[in-house]
């Protein structure tokens, strides 16, 4: 083959490789460089300038329902690429909260500030763990992680009532790559990780090496981790499935891993379902099996309002509420006293008198709490 043809083939191959890589950081390139002026009820806007890099970052903060109760602290969800994903994730969180899947939490969306920020370039810089020669400014991930740990998280925790050991990191694409980098390099900084379509091809699959290095030194990984990938992502699905297998074969103590191939979705479109399923997975309440004798003490008739009665019965090893009209709701046991309904904002805590007899329960719904009396 002639030298000029060889050179041309190498150039074409490099171009095609960069096109594939481009899906990781240019999926939003058609969007305007200037962030939209978004006002979402209940949210706040903050700026922070990194002392280490002088980079300005913008933070979108969504405060949860009930934040006005000054006796409470709240978990924090840190969301990457807020310039695109904050409205989406904020809406998804609200839906999942209303359906009882997630607790009240503070959401902090992180993006870049300054004059006309070039998001594609900045995320390629901050969300990548290593430098590759095709993108000279890449590889600032370690410094960005240090910024999160030493500057941004303390900044948030000094301003809001946060539960200091309840942090979630969420990201997609390069944000997913960075989320995995954080998982294996600052494992305890977050205890929940939600990511979709991670750019596992970065730097010849360096994430696999990060996991292998972690496994050589640790037998435990005490986090809740969700990874989703779009069914139509081609090689991305294969890469994720390889990573899923690698993780499962470690048998890490404490790891609660959930994965999902999102049907009919591509690289960007899988975020909506991925974030929904991810939040459900990492905040999943326990569902324990209780002995029959424990359930028996709750079986009976209860009065929710004057003249409005319903029954609690035992069916197939579960406690079941039968409401007027015959509709049934399965109550899942979180422990011997606390129960909940999946897919609805309804939580029950049974009450007993001094002799241990069940007298009723406190029921929490989306609009408040009430006491329900046992009448049989």
Residues 237 and 326 grouped into a single domain:
no
Residue 33, pLDDT score: 52
Convert the pLDDT of each residue in 224-245 to its tens digit. Answer: 999 999 999 999 999 999 999 9
CA distance 226 to 224: 7
Q: How many residues does the chain have?
A: 376
Q: Are 207 and 135 in a shared domain?
A: yes
Selection from 339, 347, 344, 334 nearest residue 95 by Cα:
344
Task: Give the pLDDT of residue 35.
Answer: 55
Question: Count H helices, E strands: the chain?
Answer: 10, 16
CA 137 from chain centre, in angstroms, equals 29
Domain hosting 185: range is 30-282
Do 51 and 101 sit in the same domain of this protein?
A: yes
Judgement on whether residues 223 and 321 belong to the same structural domain of the protein = no
Neighbours of 169 (CB within 10 A): 26
Q: Are 265 and 307 within one domain?
A: no
Q: How many CB atoms are located within 10 Å of the residue 257 CB?
A: 17
Residue 146: per-residue pLDDT: 98
Identify the CA nearest to 52 among candidates 139, 128, 149.
Answer: 149
Per-residue confidence (pLDDT) for residue 28, from 0 to 100: 45
Co-location of 278 and 315 in the same domain: no
Residue 20 placed within a domain: no
Q: 180, 282, 197: which is closest to 241 by C-alpha?
A: 197
* Same domain as 237, residue 329: no
Q: What is the pLDDT of residue 143?
A: 98
d(CA 374, CA 209): 58
Structure letter (DSSP) for residue 73? -
What local confidence, expressed as pLDDT, does residue 106 receive? 98
Helix axes 206-217, 235-250, angle to 10 degrees: 0
The reply to whether 103 and 154 lie within a common domain is: yes
In a shared domain, residues 76 and 168: yes
For the record, the structure tokens of 269 come out as 């479109």
Buried b (16+ CB within 10 A) or exposed e, 271-309: bbbbbbbbbbbbbebeeeebeeeebeebeeebebeeeee
Q: Which pLDDT belongs to residue 36?
A: 55
Residue 13 counted as domain residue: no
> Token pair of 6, please?
């060889």
Query: Which residue carries 């899947």 as its tokens?
Result: 101
Residue 255 within any structural domain of the chain: yes
Cα separation of 141 and 375, whole Å? 61
Identify whether residues 217 and 97 lie together within a single domain.
yes
Question: pLDDT tens, 93-140?
Answer: 999 999 999 999 999 999 999 999 999 999 999 999 999 999 999 999
Residue 69 near residue 161, CB atoms below 8 Å: no
> Would you say residue 16 lies in a domain?
no
204 shares its domain with 297: no
Closest C-alpha to 176, from 128, 221, 108, 235: 128
Of the three residues 231, 259, 282, the one that is the final residue of a domain is 282
Spatial contact of 129 and 97, defined as CB atoms under 8 Å apart: no
Q: Which two tokens stand for residue 1?
A: 């083959």
66 with 106, same domain: the answer is yes
Within 13 Å and on the Cβ side, how many CA atoms surround 52? 12
Kindly give the parts of the chain with pLDDT less than 50.
Answer: 2-20, 23, 25-32
Dist CA 81 CA 20 (whole Å): 20
In a domain, 103, yes or no: yes
Q: In Å, what is the CA distance from 13 to each residue of 7, 16, 17, 31?
A: 10, 5, 6, 28
SS (H, E, C) 322-345: ECCCCCEEEEEECCCCEEECCCCC
Q: Which of 223, 256, 282 is the C-terminal boundary of a domain?
A: 282
Specify the pLDDT at position 376: 85
Domain containing residue 173: CATH number = 3.40.50.1820
What pLDDT score does 37 carry?
A: 59
Q: C-alpha distances in angstroms, 134 versus 30, 139, 144, 200, 265?
A: 22, 12, 20, 17, 29
Domain-located, residue 24 = no
Domain tally, the chain: 2
User: Residue 21 class from Cβ within 10 Å (0-12 exposed, 13-18 middle, 19+ buried)?
Assistant: middle
- CA within 13 Å, CB half, 254: 10
CATH number at residue 314: 2.40.128.50
From 219, 248, 282, the end of a domain falls on 282
The torsion region of residue 217 among left (phi > 0), alpha (psi -120 to 50) and beta comes to: alpha
149 domain-assigned = yes
- pLDDT given for residue 43 in this prediction: 86
d(CA 29, CA 224): 32
The answer as to whether 313 is a domain residue is yes
């Amino acid at each position: 083959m002639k030298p000029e043809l060889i050179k041309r083939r190498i150039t074409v191959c490099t171009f095609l490789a960069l096109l594939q890589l481009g899906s990781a950081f240019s999926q939003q390139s058609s969007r305007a460089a200037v962030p939209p002026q978004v006002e979402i009820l209940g949210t706040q806007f903050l700026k922070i300038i990194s002392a280490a890099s002088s980079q300005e970052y913008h933070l979108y903060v969504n405060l949860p329902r009930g934040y006005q109760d000054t006796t409470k602290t709240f978990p924090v969800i840190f969301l990457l690429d807020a310039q695109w994903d904050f409205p989406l994730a904020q809406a998804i969180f609200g839906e999942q909260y209303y359906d009882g899947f997630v607790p009240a939490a503070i959401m902090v969306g992180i993006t870049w500030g300054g004059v006309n920020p070039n998001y594609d370039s900045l995320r390629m810089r901050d969300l990548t763990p290593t430098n590759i020669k095709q993108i000279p400014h890449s590889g600032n991930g370690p410094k960005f992680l240090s910024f999160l740990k030493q500057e941004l998280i303390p900044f948030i925790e000094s301003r809001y009532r946060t539960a200091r050991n309840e942090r979630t990191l969420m990201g997609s694409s390069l944000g997913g790559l960075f989320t995995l980098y954080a998982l294996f390099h600052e494992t305890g900084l977050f205890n929940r990780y939600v990511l979709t379509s991670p750019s596992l091809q970065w730097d010849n699959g360096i994430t696999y090496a990060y996991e292998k290095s972690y496994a050589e030194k640790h037998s435990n990984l005490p986090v809740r981790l969700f990874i989703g990938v779009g069914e139509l992502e081609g090689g991305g699905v294969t890469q994720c499935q390889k990573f899923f297998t690698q993780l499962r074969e470690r048998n890490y103590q404490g790891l609660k891993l959930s994965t999902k191939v999102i049907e009919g979705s591509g690289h960007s479109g899988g975020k909506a379902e991925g974030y929904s399923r991810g939040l459900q997975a990492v905040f999943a309440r326990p569902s324990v099996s209780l002995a029959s004798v424990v359930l028996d003490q709750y079986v009976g008739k209860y009065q929710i309002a004057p003249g409005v009665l319903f029954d609690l019965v035992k069916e197939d090893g579960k406690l079941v509420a039968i409401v007027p009209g015959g509709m049934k709701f399965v109550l899942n046991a979180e422990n011997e006293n606390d129960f909940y309904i999946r897919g609805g904002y309804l939580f029950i805590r049974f009450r007993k008198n001094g002799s241990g007899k069940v007298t009723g329960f406190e029921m929490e719904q989306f609009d408040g709490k009430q006491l329900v009396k046992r009448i049989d």
